[in-house]
Amino acid sequence: MAGLTGHPVLEIGDKFEELQNNIFNNNKNKEVIDKAGLVVKGEENSNNNNNNQGGERDMAPPTSNSLHRSGSRPQLDLSKAAIQGNSEERDPTILLPNQSDDISHFALDIGGSLIKLVYFSRHEGQSIDDKRKKTVKEISNGSRRSYPILGGRLHFVKFETSKLNECLDFISSKQLHNGRIDSHYWNSEAPNKENAVIKATGGGAYKFADLFKERLGVSIDKEDEMDCLVAGANFLLKAIRHEAFTHMEGHKEFVQIDHNDLFPYLLVNVGSGVSMIKVDGDGKFQRVSGTNVGGGTYWGLGRLLTKCNSFDELLELSQRGDNRTIDMLVGDIYGGMDYSKIGLSASTIASSFGKAISDKKELEDHRPEDISLSLLRMISYNIGQISYLNALRFGLKRIFFGGFFIRGHAYTMDTISFAVHFWSQGQAQAMFLRHEGFLGALGAFMSYEKLGLDDLMVHQLVERFPMGAPYTGGKIHGPPLGNLNEKISWMEKFVLKGTEITAPVPMAPPGTTGLGGFEVPSSKGGTLRSDASALNVGVLHLVPTLEVFPLLANPKMYEPNTIDLSDHCELEYWFTVLSEHLPDLVDKAVASEGGTDDAKRRGDAFARAFSAHLARLMEEPAAYGKLGLANLLELREECLREFQFLDAYRSIKQRENEVSLAVLPDLLMELDRMDEEARLLTLIEGVLAANIFDWGSRACVDLYHKGTIIDIYRMSRNKMQRPWRVDDFDLFRERMLGSEGKKPRPHKRALLFVDNSGADVVLGMLPLARELLRRGTEVVLVANSLPALNDVTAMELPDIVAEAAKHCDILRRAAEAGGLLVDAMTNTLDGSKENCSSVPLMVVENGCGSPCIDLRQVSSELASAAKHADLLAMVKNQRLAEKLIKGEIYDCVCRYEPAS
């Protein structure tokens, strides 16, 4: 303990600046933490005893600012809290070993047909590699913020209300009612929560309250349904990118709405009846209109007229209907002619069910399919018309539709969309929400006091699509799978039962849906499946440490997907590439886990799962939201991790790094023999050349077989003949070397975004970093947070740098100054300042686990580093190795924009 006496005592409040609103006076022992992680116990209820020996201090319980403890309010157990990581950081991570995770984790919307459940689970903690602790402190300059919420995941699950027991079993199995989700991470012995209160909305919150009390021992706190709908819609529209979309003529187009320009809007909730709500802000709304002709009307009349047993059965009937046999058209009245004077075509519906008056047919003489379609069109058109008229009445620009009646049904959305377009003469659009079925449940979840969700921004949310029942958006097939073994077993049965679960049904060729007016679908409704636009929603990851890259010129206009997969040719090309590469990827993944039988089983399950994702997306590219190549590649990496393949290219990357490090000394000697100008040009050519060494491609493997890695590197470098497609090298050279009496102006800090392991980082980026360090520029190597293909990760870089530093004093001194060498870091922490005169070489993670990076969502660590950077270097090229094999000189981009 002697070594700890020099550290000042740190009060809990110092580290929980934004969390202390969640700390309650529960008259238990309070504890404080010293900066070295020493836990010192204070006296119970001792407010003023600050004279303890040995630097101890009691934490006074809050008095004037004490908060009332609510059964629904989060509470933190601070006993035996300890700092994790570097004690010198201003805001280090604090572990709460006795935290019972006694926080409400779910809320319900219990409707007449469906139960919608939103539940929360913790992110598991990730240890910080010792070699990077000091790096974080140096770059952050003590500015890392303390977040008011813990990272986690929001899950969206649906059950049929008629199968309420399945929902209750699911809640019980996950211990959601005890606040125990992921409780093994906090405290596996945490006692069950007594007298628990859960939030719920919808009619079932009243109807089934006694059953929840009997089965789960919880009381239901009933939340107002309209309050929840609006709160859920506001959250989604402000916090989730591309939540809203239009649906016209079978085409889904996502809309990005500036949350600063969101209000006011009209929210049309189409349930049994229809409510139209004018929303002016958070908690500010009024019901301005409605109609009793809604989903209940369609289902009630449909059941009477067609004898269907379910709402979905009635919708399915409409797909095969032809309403011309029942609806009276303008052409029926005017002898097949248009009424052109007032702009009505002959196929416009003049009167829904009008022909039933004169055709002298009995009910049984009409096809149920035709009745269903006519009924659907009649109700949908009227909802669309009344909604637009109310929006016009209040001068509202946006109309959002949701509710039980819509439920992602493509034909319904098309019909409502046309009605709004028709009556507004194209001035207004109907918009729909991907999570529309969960508005109420999400609003009820947010009604728990201060969960921190209202402070989340769009860049802090990432949606993932794990494989497994239920396939949200489609039919309900039981509760989600409980663990990996269940998931693998389910995937092994996929060949036999997969079509029942993901239902990849071929669609008709693209074309008009026939909704060219209040008109009869020429296809009789057949081109759109009832679930063709099913609203598939994934798990919403809440990551408070993600930020927008601060150097983006215009974050709102930035688009990370450079390849447009709405182009069918591009979509087909990339799906073919991914499908053909899948067997090789599975082999690598299994090999990375030692080739065990368990690994083979997981590999097979991964292949089936990812193939199912591709089949669903090939059927409808917008099924999971707006789709770009970056999303598709990220989906593959997430799918690998889902089946516990954490680094499929581990052994390949190790081999690449070893081979590249072995030839690095020769390359550095070659560079040092050059004059400054030749060396600088060679370094840039080398960065471009080294990037072709992507060992994920077959072409690069073929290259390797044709010669040694250094020979191939030099051959590739020699092909970089200027001028390049974009060639700003002369500007860069002038800044670096000076010209015509101008002195060189070294950059203050450079961010080098590294890509592939092996030659790319070792022979390309490290020599460039060395040159910048030589000229007094701080260098920050930016790498993936998680493995993806053969990309190098931030956790792997310190070892690579340490090996390279053995052959170079410049790299060694900079790595020591940046805390990347363990011995040097230890000396620095002990107070030694030797070898720290060099500018530092540092490493940060980018917050990404994909081959592509989205600069709208980067780690807070990278965002902090970027604020003082005046040079960025990133190399991302496509299909380069393939072109090189063919003898082509590919287009090179060397873009340099001097800082203003």
Q: Which stretch of 42-46, 156-160, 676-680 has the lowest confidence by average pLDDT?
A: 42-46
Neighbours of 471 (CB within 10 A): 19
CATH of the domain at 403: 3.30.420.40
Question: 304 — phi, psi (to 5°)?
Answer: -65, -40
pLDDT tens-digit map of 365-419:
999 999 999 999 999 999 999 999 999 999 998 999 998 788 788 889 999 999 9
> Residues 443, 338: one domain?
no
Task: Calculate the alpha carbon distances from 34 to 9, 83, 737 in Å.
Answer: 5, 9, 49
> Residues 267, 317: one domain?
yes
Q: Is 152 part of a structural domain of the chain?
A: yes
783 exposure class (CB count in 10 Å sphere: 0-12, 13-18, 19+): buried
User: In the predicted model, what is the mean pLDDT of residues 28-48?
Assistant: 31
pLDDT at 876: 58
Q: Which stretch of 38-47, 667-676, 702-711, 786-795 has the lowest confidence by average pLDDT?
A: 38-47
Alpha helices in 142-267 (DSSP H): 164-173, 183-186, 204-207, 209-216, 225-239
Q: Which stretch of 343-352, 358-367, 812-821 has the lowest confidence by average pLDDT?
A: 343-352
User: In the predicted model, what is the mean pLDDT of residues 299-309?
Assistant: 93
> Residues 166, 258: one domain?
no
pLDDT at 487: 75
pLDDT at 493: 64
Which of 544, 561, 589 corresponds to the end of one domain? 544
pLDDT tens-digit map of 582-625:
999 999 999 999 999 999 999 998 998 898 888 888 888 888 88
Residue 41 pLDDT class (50, 70, 90 cuts): very low
pLDDT tens-digit map of 191-227:
445 568 899 999 999 999 999 999 999 999 999 999 9
Percent of the chain with pLDDT over 70: 71
Interacting residues of 365 by C-beta distance below 8 A, sequence separation 6+:
none
Q: Are strands 539-542 and 858-859 parallel, antiparallel or unpaired?
A: unpaired
State the DSSP H helix or E strand holding residue 727, giving kind and residue range, or none if neither. strand 726-727
User: In the predicted model, what is the mean pLDDT of residues 111-119?
Assistant: 87
> Residues 267, 239: one domain?
no
Task: Please tell me the distance from the alpha carbon of residue 579 to that of residue 573, in angstroms, as a whole number.
Answer: 10
pLDDT at 700: 58
Q: Which stretch of 230-244, 505-519, 743-757, 822-836 has the lowest confidence by average pLDDT?
A: 505-519
Q: Is 640 within 8 Å of 745 (Cβ atoms)?
A: no
Residue, of 105 and 845, whose pLDDT is higher: 845
Task: Please tell me the distance from the alpha carbon of residue 159 to that of residue 119, in angstroms, as a whole number.
Answer: 14
Q: Is 857 part of a structural domain of the chain?
A: yes
pLDDT at 507 over 80: no
Domain that holds residue 159: 77-243+439-466+538-544
Question: 282 — phi, psi (to 5°)?
Answer: -65, 120
User: In the predicted model, what is the mean pLDDT of residues 168-194?
Assistant: 60
Residue 424 pLDDT class (50, 70, 90 cuts): very high
pLDDT at 552 over 70: yes
User: In the predicted model, what is the mean pLDDT of residues 515-542?
Assistant: 49
Residue, of 739 and 495, whose pLDDT is higher: 739
Task: Please tell me the distance from the alpha carbon of residue 433 to that of residue 236, in angstroms, as a whole number.
Answer: 8
pLDDT at 76 over 60: no
Rounded to 5 degrees, what angle do the CA atoms 292, 298, 304 make?
115
Query: In the block, which residue shows the tokens 């187009």?
Result: 253
pLDDT at 584: 92
Nearest to 199 by CA among 209, 210, 184, 211: 209
pLDDT tens-digit map of 647-703:
999 998 998 899 899 999 999 999 999 999 999 999 999 998 888 766 445 555 555
pLDDT at 502: 36
Percent of the chain with pLDDT over 90: 43
> Residues 363, 404: one domain?
yes
Q: Is 443 part of a structural domain of the chain?
A: yes
Query: In the block, which residue shows the tokens 């020429």?
Result: 522
pLDDT tens-digit map of 330-356:
888 887 787 777 777 777 888 999 998
pLDDT at 146 over 80: no
Residue ranges of E strands in 738-870? 749-753, 778-783, 841-845, 858-859
Residue 817 pLDDT class (50, 70, 90 cuts): very high
DSSP annotation of 793 reads B
Q: Is 621 part of a structural domain of the chain?
A: no
pLDDT at 4 over 80: no
User: In the predicted model, what is the mean pLDDT of residues 140-145?
Assistant: 39
pLDDT at 149 over 80: no
- Amino acid in position 357: I
Residue, of 620 and 749, whose pLDDT is higher: 749
Q: Is 583 part of a structural domain of the chain?
A: no
Interacting residues of 801 by C-beta distance below 8 A, sequence separation 6+:
766, 781, 811, 815, 820, 841, 843
Task: Please tell me the distance from the alpha carbon of residue 134 to that of residue 141, in angstroms, as a whole number.
Answer: 11
Residue ranges of E strands in 308-424? 328-329, 349-351, 399-402
User: In the predicted model, what is the mean pLDDT of residues 629-655?
Assistant: 93
Highest mean pLDDT among 75-89, 427-441, 482-496: 427-441
Residues in the chain, how many? 900
Alpha helices in 643-728 (DSSP H): 650-672, 676-690, 698-705, 709-718
Q: Is 409 part of a structural domain of the chain?
A: yes
Which of 514, 544, 574 corresponds to the end of one domain? 544
Q: Is 598 part of a structural domain of the chain?
A: no
Residue 306 pLDDT class (50, 70, 90 cuts): very high
Task: Please tell me the distance from the alpha carbon of residue 28 to that of residue 30, in angstroms, as a whole number.
Answer: 6
How much is the pTM? Answer: 0.79
pLDDT at 2: 31
Which of 438, 455, 485 corresponds to the end of one domain? 438
Residue, of 708 and 322, whose pLDDT is higher: 322
> Residues 266, 227: one domain?
no
Q: Is 217 part of a structural domain of the chain?
A: yes
pLDDT at 236: 93
Residue, of 12 and 242, whose pLDDT is higher: 242
pLDDT tens-digit map of 378-392:
999 999 999 999 999
Residue 500 pLDDT class (50, 70, 90 cuts): very low
Interacting residues of 177 by C-beta distance below 8 A, sequence separation 6+:
106, 171, 193, 196, 198, 216, 217, 218
pLDDT at 508 over 60: no
User: In the predicted model, what is the mean pLDDT of residues 724-734?
Assistant: 91
pLDDT at 342: 75
pLDDT at 532: 40
State the DSSP H helix or E strand holding residue 568, giving kind and residue range, or none if neither. helix 568-592
Residue 469 pLDDT class (50, 70, 90 cuts): very low
pLDDT at 882 over 60: no
User: In the predicted model, what is the mean pLDDT of residues 45-55?
Assistant: 37
Residue 3 pLDDT class (50, 70, 90 cuts): very low
> Residues 269, 208: one domain?
no
Crossing angle of helices 809-817 and 766-774, rounded to 10°? 80
> Residues 146, 21: one domain?
no
Interacting residues of 538 by C-beta distance below 8 A, sequence separation 6+:
156, 463, 464, 465, 466, 624
> Residues 213, 261: one domain?
no
Q: Is 793 within 8 Å of 784 (Cβ atoms)?
A: yes
Q: Which stretch of 253-267, 701-715, 736-750 has the lowest confidence by average pLDDT?
A: 701-715
Query: In the block, which residue shows the tokens 């403890």?
Result: 69
Mean confidence (pLDDT) of the chain: 76
pLDDT at 482: 61
> Residues 232, 266: one domain?
no
Task: Please tell me the distance from the alpha carbon of residue 408 to that of residue 668, in angstroms, as a whole number.
Answer: 60
The total number of structural domains that make up the chain? 3
> Residues 453, 382: one domain?
no
Residue 490 pLDDT class (50, 70, 90 cuts): low
> Residues 697, 803: one domain?
yes
pLDDT at 894: 83
pLDDT at 181 over 90: no
Rounded to 5 degrees, what angle do the CA atoms 72, 78, 81 make?
145
